[in-house]
Structure 1
Amino acid sequence: MLIKEYCAENYTYIPAAINNGANRIELCDNLNVGGTTPSIGVIEESLAYASEKEIPIMTMIRPRSGNFIYNDIELRIMESDVIEAKKLGIDGVVFGCLTPNNWLDEEALDRLIEAAEGLQITFHMAFDQIPTTQQFEAIDWLSEHGIHRILTHGGPRNTAINENLEQLRKLVNYANQRLTILPGGGVTVDNAEELAKQINVNEVHGTKIISLPEENND
């Protein structure tokens, strides 16, 4: 079965998404800037509904828009948000931290991974800013440090996902089930099944992978 992870902005469309086939939810705020941490109230209400349907929720941990280079205060905010989401009973968290030269911020990630112990962890599309030649080494590090998934477009966001199938297949093959490569960005209800077959994955991610009665996403 293909797992369709619906990227939700707040609570509004979660019931419709689940009722129309979403198998997992990534919960965010501010999708117009790529997603930031949702409020405690949004997490609580989303969990209350999703848990009745046995649908896991992964919550975004990102304190602001912009780059993925965080100072110590921002990291403390993220660490606190992970801990609070964990207390609420969240199934997993989504985050990503980079250095100024677009490599994994290993020290920052160590802190967040420790705070998220016992949760599923997705490294988000910050991964796509890592140079292609270093992405395989990044998979090694992330898999060795307990990351469960990498959300990736397989290339720059201004490219169509169909242009990135070769790179996505390379990432899937290299990961070799040590962690899941989760394709996103341009995956829709119309192409999800075919893309999953072409890339050889059984999980996909997006705002348009589920037919909703009223669309409000990009």
Structure 2
Amino acid sequence: MVWYNDKRTLSKQTGENMLIREFCAENFTDIPRVVAAGVERIELCDNLAQGGTTPSYGVIKETADYLRDRKTTFATMIRPRGGDFVYHSIDVRIMETDILKAVEAGTNELVFGALTPDNNLDIDVLETLMVASQGLPVTFHMAFDAIPHHLQHSSLDTLVELGFDKILMHGDTLDKPINTTHIADLVNYASGRIQILAGGGVVAETAQEISKLTGSQYVHGTKIIA
């Protein structure tokens, strides 16, 4: 079997695209089950009712220990609270500390985002958090969907410049179906400079089709694997 590589998701032997499913896990409970079912990636968080917040140090460490000798990798959500993505100095200090503790606990990757009150990227906060990330791959989470569509190309360029590895997006507000056309436009524009994860309402039965429609090998959800 040829296992994927997060930086390059093409099979070196066959050249074929591989579907990479990211399971959104609320704490540790479902991780043994989805790993046994063959899931490729996990996004670890807490409090999904609020869209996901930072899990505890203990949960991160237990997950890292469990996955250490397995093929599944995991990213840890860094979000200090529910609500909006406009962060002030105390929020940022909390996020810096949580990043450092997540790295210490053994996370493979990180997930975070920050916006200004007018829904543009908060460059100052993002630069601060990227320094704390110590070079680990970072995904900008679904806060990206709040950025006006006409600004998303330039925002993607900025995230590439900042060193982000991936963007998680739904392509629209979560009360609407996943906007595969819009995501496909971003995938095409990114041209491999940054990976796009399609998420929000993606389930095991639709993952392959959404991957085809968007042109992204990455799909994300709480029901991404049966």
Q: Which residue of 1 aligns with 2:186?
A: 171
CA distance in 2: counterparts of 1:177 and 1:40, whole angstroms: 33
Which residue of 1 is the match for residue 90 of structure 2?
Answer: 73
Residues 151, 182 of structure 1: 8 Å contact kept: yes
Matched-pair contact (CA < 8 Å) for 1:5–1:206 = yes
CA–CA separation in structure 1 for the residues paired with 2:172 and 2:187: 14
Counterpart residue number, 2:143? 126
Q: Distance in 2 between matches of 1:117 and 1:150?
A: 19
Which of the numbers 187, 190, 193 marks the counterpart of 2:205?
190
Q: Which residue identity does 1:41 align to in structure 2?
A: G
CA distance in 1, matches of 2:175, 2:129: 29
CA contact (8 A) 1:8 1:27 kept: yes
- Does residue 1:209 correspond to 2:224, yes or no? yes
Q: By how many angstroms is 1:117 displaced?
A: 2.3
Aligned-pair CA distance for 1:80: 0.7
Q: Distance in 2 between matches of 1:72 and 1:27?
A: 25
Partner amino acid, structure 1, of 2:140 = F
Deviation at 1:21, TM superposition (A): 2.0
After TM superposition, where is structure 1 displaced by more than 2 Å over at least 4 residues in a row?
Answer: none
Task: Please show how residues 55-204 of structure 1 align to structure 2 within 5 Å.
Answer: 55-161=72-178, 164-204=179-219
The equivalent residue for 1:52 is: 69
Partner SS for 2:68: helix
| Count of residue correspondences | 209
Opposite residue 98 of structure 1, the aligned amino acid is L
Give the whole-Å Cα distance in 2 for the aligned partners of 1:46 and 1:65: 23
d(CA) in 2 for partners of 1:118 and 1:198?
32
| 1: CA distance, partners of 2:217 / 2:59 | 28
RMSD: 0.7
Letter of the 2:24 partner, please give it. Answer: C
Matched-pair contact (CA < 8 Å) for 1:4–1:21? no
Identity %: 50
For 1:11-30, what aligned pairs fall within 5 Å after superposition?
11-30=28-47
Contact residue 125 and residue 153 of structure 1 kept, 8 A: yes
Distance 1:146 1:111 in 2: 12
Structure 2 residue identity aligned to 1:77: I
Q: AA paired with 2:183?
A: L
Amino acid at match of 2:187: V
Aligned partners of 2:60, 2:24: CA distance in 1, in Å?
Answer: 14
Does the aligned pair in 1 maintain the 2:60–2:106 contact within 8 Å? no
Contiguous gaps of at least 5 residues in structure 1? 212-218
SS at structure 1 position matched to 2:167: strand
Q: In 2, distance between residues paired with 1:6 and 1:50?
A: 14
Q: Distance in 1 between matches of 2:164 and 2:22?
A: 17
Distance 2:207 2:71 in 1: 22
What's the secondary structure of 1:52's corresponding residue?
coil
Deviations 1:127-172 (A, max 9, x none): 00000000001000001110000000011111111xx111111100
Aligned equivalent of 2:52: 35
Q: In the alignment, which of 1, 13, 21 is matched to residue 4 of structure 1? A: 21
Shift of 1:52: 2.3
